[in-house]
Amino acid sequence: MWFALDGEKSDEREEILPQLKAVLEFADGLEQRLSVDGIQGIAGALGLYRRLKELLDELPEADIVRQKAEVESVQRWLEDIARTLEDLQRLKSAMRS
């Protein structure tokens, strides 16, 4: 890629420069969005990621497995409630007819 920027082949450079410009525009947009959210840009997001990874790496695997099972259990319970509510709604509609 950098060889194309040396001026060896201008047609390749002309293809690469718009791509580099797009990457820079994306990075600038990302930096602005992260700054608005109080994360202090890309560097802040990377710092937040590293801190979160440190904290999660310290958790015992058994705790994570147990919590995951508990969340899945609650999810199944909520899905059962949703099905029951749908059944009640259908029954209510049928009784009105």
Q: How confident is the model at residue 65 (pLDDT cuts 50, 70, 90)?
A: very high
- Rounded CA-CA distance 76/69 in Å is 11
Q: Decide: pTM greater than 0.85.
A: no
Q: Which of 8-12, 26-30, 52-56, 81-85 comes out lowest in average pLDDT?
A: 8-12
Q: Return the domain boundaries, the chain.
A: 1-58, 60-97
Contact predicate 4/13, CB 8 Å: yes
Residue 1 is predicted with a pLDDT of 45
The alpha carbon dihedral of 24, 25, 29, 32 has a sign of: positive
Q: What are the pLDDT digits (tens) for 2-48?
A: 454 555 555 677 788 889 999 999 988 888 887 776 778 888 888 98
Q: How confident is the model at residue 63 (pLDDT cuts 50, 70, 90)?
A: very high
